[in-house]
Amino acid sequence: MEDDVAGINRQALPPPPERPSPRAPTWRASWDHALAVEWFTKGAEVGLPKARFNLGLCLEEGEGMAAPDYPAAADWYRRAADAGHAGAANNLSTFFTLGRGRACQIMPAASSAMF
């Protein structure tokens, strides 16, 4: 009986569309990156956390521009993280770990206080 139901469902429903992963290079290569940056910037300026995060991604990767802009990407990640975007908080912590973007001002003060 269960096999009959599964067979009927397969006949009635079309197969799901094949869609590459959002992180796949071929999928992102089809974007108009300059246009994406323009719209992400508009959304980020009005306060949308996801737009701020996506703008940070574009700035980090250098998509839609000549070269990556790490300080600007860190700034947009910080703004998105302040608005509660967990992915932005993760990327911002990675920036600090790798030494990208603006230098963290807490570390010199903390290290001088320790010694």
Could you tell me the CATH number of the domain that includes residue 66? Answer: 1.25.40
Q: Does any domain span residue 12?
A: no
pLDDT digits (tens, 9 = 90+) for 49-76: 999 999 999 999 888 788 889 999 999 9
3-state class (DSSP) for residue 19:
coil
Whether residue 84 is contained in a domain is answered as yes
Q: What is the pLDDT of residue 3?
A: 52
CB of 53 within 8 A of CB of 77?
yes
- Give the structural domain span for 85: 31-114
21 assigned to some structural domain: no
91 part of a folded domain: yes
3-state secondary structure of 48: coil
In a domain, 10, yes or no: no
In a domain, 19, yes or no: no
Cα separation, 1 vs 13, in Å, equals 18
Tens digit of pLDDT for each residue in 6-65?
Answer: 454 455 545 555 555 455 455 455 678 888 889 999 999 999 999 999 999 999 988 878
Q: Radius of gyration of the chain from Cα atoms?
A: 21
Does position 89 have pLDDT exceeding 90, yes or no? yes
Please state the domain count of the chain.
Answer: 1
In a domain, 103, yes or no: yes
pLDDT on residue 16: 53
